[in-house]
Amino acid sequence: MTGPKSKGRTVELCVPLAPLRVAASDRAEMCTQALAGESAVVINTGEGDWIEVELKADGYTGWTDAKQWVATHAPPSRSCLLQAPVSSWLREDGIQLELPSGSQLALDENDTWRLGRWALQPLDDLDVALGAHARALDAAEQFLGTPYLWGGKSLFGMDCSGLIQVAFQLTGKVVPRDACDQCQMGESVKFDDRKSGDLAFFQNSEGRVVHVGILSEPSTIIHAAGEVRLDEITQEGIVRNGTQTHALHSIMRW
């Protein structure tokens, strides 16, 4: 076999985004999402069209539908990372795709945009779709109002660590997927020394890191809880409408 179900094969996502699940079932929990053009390696195969993949960017693993992936032989010589929260593209078969930020498109020798085997034509302003963010905070702010979705990484729904991963990805920095791993990066910052762009991590009653956000101002945090939102942060944690909702664990500077 040489298709996307071949173990050890490098594959590329050819749809706007796809769930990765903890087991080979549509009813299994979604642990993360892959974005258009993302590369992975097939590490296991299951019944039907199920494959287990390891994402090349962050090493995250999960089960996914092989029909949403295509086998690849070599990375493209030129590619671009989409920056706008969502951008519209017309596939050569007439299908319009809405691609989320963080999607990766190849640019072939004829200067044609490609996703998998399909040629794409941009329907939006390319300067907006491709305009890079200098700061992760700027990238995070564009997702304000996005609904919360466990395992999500796009404008259509995202979780707290997905927000942070995508925001930093758009500045060219690769970071882990989960908050408990993200908190191991960078240098610790005292609460009184915090500033915009620092990462704040929060713990459960057992002291385990379970939540993360990015400071927009020293006393304000952007995080995903119900939606991507702005809330007050104090030395104790996140405060919403006078009630503490999350207990502060640490502040880190990347």
Here the CATH number for the domain that contains residue 248 is 3.90.1720.10
Asked if residue 74 has pLDDT above 90, the reply is no
Nearest to 24 by CA among 61, 71, 67, 62: 62
If we measure between CA atoms, which residue out of 176, 139, 234 comes closest to residue 55? 176
pLDDT at 28 over 80: yes
pTM (predicted TM-score): 0.93
**pLDDT given for residue 24 in this prediction:** 98
Pairing of strands 113-115, 118-122: antiparallel
The pLDDT assigned to 6 comes to: 84
Instruction: Give the tokens for residue 156.
Output: 């259509």
Q: What's the pLDDT at 2?
A: 54
* Alpha-carbon gap, residue 22 to 43, rounded angstroms: 14
Tell me the mean pLDDT in the region 245-251.
99
- Residue 87 — very low, low, confident or very high, per pLDDT cuts 50/70/90? very high
**Of 130, 154, 170, which marks where a domain is finished?**
130
Q: Is residue 219 part of a domain?
A: yes
Amino acid occupying residue 12: E
Q: Report residue 16 as tokens.
A: 């706007």
Which is catalytic among the residues 133, 223, 246, 249? 223
Answer yes or no: is 208 within a domain. yes
**Does 246 participate in catalysis according to the annotation?**
no
- Residue 202 domain-assigned? yes
Q: Is residue 167 part of a domain?
A: yes
Is the domain of 19 the same as that of 91? Answer: no
**Count of other CB atoms within 10 angstroms of residue 43:** 13
pLDDT tier for residue 132 given thresholds of 50, 70 and 90: confident
Domain enclosing residue 40, as ranges: 10-71
What average pLDDT score do residues 203-226 get?
98
Contact (CB, 8 A) for 115 and 36: yes
What pLDDT does 1 receive? Answer: 41
Q: In whole angstroms, what is the distance from residue 162 CA to residue 160 CA?
A: 5
Is residue 160 among the annotated active site residues? Answer: yes
Q: Residue 184: phi, psi to the nearest 5?
A: -85, -5
List, in sequence order, the alpha helices (H) in 78-210. 126-130, 136-141, 160-169, 179-182
Q: Are 155 and 210 within one domain?
A: yes
At 48 the pLDDT is: 96
- CA atoms of 154 and 152, how far apart (whole Å): 6
The number of distinct structural domains making up the chain is 3
101-116 confidence digits (pLDDT tens): 999 999 999 999 999 9
Tens digits of residue pLDDT in 152-209: 999 999 999 999 999 999 999 999 999 999 999 999 999 999 999 999 999 999 999 9
- Rounded CA gap, 133 and 139, in Å? 6
Q: What is the pLDDT of residue 76?
A: 78
Catalytic option among 14, 31, 160, 183: 160
Per the residue annotation, which of 14, 31, 133, 211 is the catalytic one? 211
